[in-house]
Amino acid sequence: MELQVLTPFRRLACILLTAALAQSCEERITIDTGTSEPRLVIYGYITTDSLRHAVSITRSSGYFSTTKPEGITGAEVVIRQGEEAYILTESGSEPGLYQTADSVAGEVGKTYTLHVSLDFDGDGQAEEYGAESWLPPVSRLDSMAVRPSALSDHHMEVLIWGRLPEEEENYFNFRLYRNGVLVNDSLRGFRISDDLFLGRKDIEGTPVFYLNQRRESEQLSPGDSLTFQIDGITSEYAGFINNAQSERRGSIPLFGAPPANIETNLRRLTPGSGAGLSGFFTAFSVSRAGMLYPPE
């Protein structure tokens, strides 16, 4: 698990390096990287929220492809917990998206198993795939606040109050909604953290999120409603997201690790084609706090 404490330093080092390399230049180039065999990509999760949960099943495409990945239809998808089984049905509007019934909610401490059956290699025989995840404990989130950041004149910082789970090691993902719309809705905006970064179990006005007021999607206006959400995630999922962020970003020679495919917790359960597997199935807990901007 990458320690969150180091992230600012890595950024600093990159900035310094860039400053030192005033001579460096960028140039778009065309390279032929070939196309790897398509991989089966399964991605989904179940949370403590009572709602319709979803799992997407797609086929990977060439790196320089300009179309969205192709969804895979006709799969049988089930999420199990103990004796309970939630059967996911295929969305009528989005091929490759499989959804539970309404009002399905996960429970903290329980282990959830995803089971997928589909014929990916086209040999007429369905292959079985599976993954499992436990659902980590929930944090207590009492309140939130927003104030101008001391770091920059065009950033607002989001502060939170509450208490982290008592477990020794916890991992979190922070999400911020403005007027019901997720601000950080892509990997670039995901904020993965751990206990160490948050310092202590009691959170008392810790800045956890920054809103760039020069970016339209993050600009605050009077009357905006803000909701801050902490996802209690597993260390494996935290690692998956960290690695996905890192590979999405790319690396530079001095500070980057060699590129590598991101490890998945999905497993092939039956013999079948040698096609690769990517994606992740996880479960996480959710806690929220909200406010109106500006506070009254």
Partner 1 sequence: MGIGNKQLALYFIFLFTFGFTCCLQGQVKRYTVSGNIRDAGNGEDLIGAEVVIAGTRTGTVSNSYGYYALNLPEGRYRLVFSYIGYKRAEVDVDLSADRKLNAVLTADARELTEVVVSAEGRNANVVRPEMSRERLSAGDIKSIPALMGEVDVIKAIQLLPGVQSASEGSSGFSVRGGGHDQNLILLDEATVYNASHLMGFFSVFNNDAIKDVTLYKGDIPASFGGRLSSLLDIRSKDGNTQRYAAAGGVGLISSRLTLEGPLGDKASAIVSARRTYADMFLAFASEENQRNSTLYFYDMNAKLNVRIDDNNRLFLAGYSGRDRFGTDIAAMGFGNNTVTLRWNHVFSPRLFSNFTLIGSSYDYYLRSEISEQLSQELSSGLEDYGFKADFSYHHGPANSLKFGYNFVYHTFLPGEGGGVGEESVVGRISLPRTFAAENVFYVANESDLYEGRLKLKYGLRFSLFHNIANGRGVDILSDYRVAETWDYARGTVYNGMGRLEPRLGVTYVFNDLHSVKASYSRTVQYIQLASNSSAGSPLDLWFEASPNVKPQLSDQFALGYFRNFAGDAYEVSAEVYYKDMKNVVDFKDHASLLINEHLEQELRFGSGYAYGLELMVRRTRGPLSGWISYTLSRSRRRIDGVNEGLEYRSPYDKPHNVSVVLTQDLSPRVSLSANWVYASGTPVTYPTGRFQIENSYVPVYSSRNEYRYPDYHRLDLSLTWQLSRPGRSFSHELNFSLYNAYGRKNVWTILFRQENDRPDVSYAEKIYLFTFIPSVTWNFRF
**Which 170-199 residues touch partner 1, going by CB under 8 A?**
185-188, 190, 195-199
Binding segment for partner 1 (CB under 8 A), chosen from 133-141, 215-223, 225-233, 271-279, is 271-279
What string marks each residue from 11 to 50 as x (binds partner 1 by CB under 8 A) or -?
-xx-xxx-xxx-xxxxxxxxx-xxxx-xx-x-x-------
Angle CA(292)–CA(192)–CA(164) in degrees, nearest 5? 70
- Asked whether position 67 contacts partner 1 by CB under 8 A, the answer is yes
Give 31's DSSP letter. -
One-letter amino acid at 220 equals: L
Shortest Å distance, C-beta 58 to partner 1? 6
Span 211-240, contacts to partner 1 by CB under 8 A: 239
* Rg from Cα positions in the chain: 21
Asked if residues 290 and 144 have their Cβ atoms less than 8 Å apart, the reply is yes
- Asked whether position 136 contacts partner 1 by CB under 8 A, the answer is no
Tokens standing for residue 173 = 């993902």
Q: Among 50, 64, 94, 270, which residue interacts with partner 1 (rule: CB under 8 A)?
A: 64
Which residue lies nearer to partner 1 by CB, 122 or 259? 259
- Asked whether position 292 contacts partner 1 by CB under 8 A, the answer is no
Spatial CB neighbours of 99, under 8 Å, sequence gap ≥ 6: 52, 53, 54, 88, 89, 90, 91
Shortest Å distance, C-beta 118 to partner 1? 16
Q: Among 260, 271, 274, 296, which residue interacts with partner 1 (rule: CB under 8 A)?
A: 260
| Separation between Cα atoms, residue 139 and residue 164, nearest integer Å | 5
Neighbours of 260 (CB within 10 A): 9
One DSSP character per residue, 89-135 reads EE-SSSTTEEE--TTB---TT-EEEEEEEE-SS-SSS-EEEEEEEE-
* Cα of 96 vs its chain's centroid, Å: 19
- Characterize the bridge pairing of strands 277-293 and 40-47: parallel
Q: Among 163, 243, 272, 275, which residue interacts with partner 1 (rule: CB under 8 A)?
A: 243
Q: Among 108, 262, 269, 275, which residue interacts with partner 1 (rule: CB under 8 A)?
A: 262
Shortest Å distance, C-beta 296 to partner 1? 25
What distance, in Å, lies between the first and last C-alpha atoms of the chain? Answer: 40
Q: Among 122, 180, 259, 271, which residue interacts with partner 1 (rule: CB under 8 A)?
A: 259
Q: Among 51, 52, 63, 270, which residue interacts with partner 1 (rule: CB under 8 A)?
A: 63
Which residue lies nearer to partner 1 by CB, 73 or 125? 73
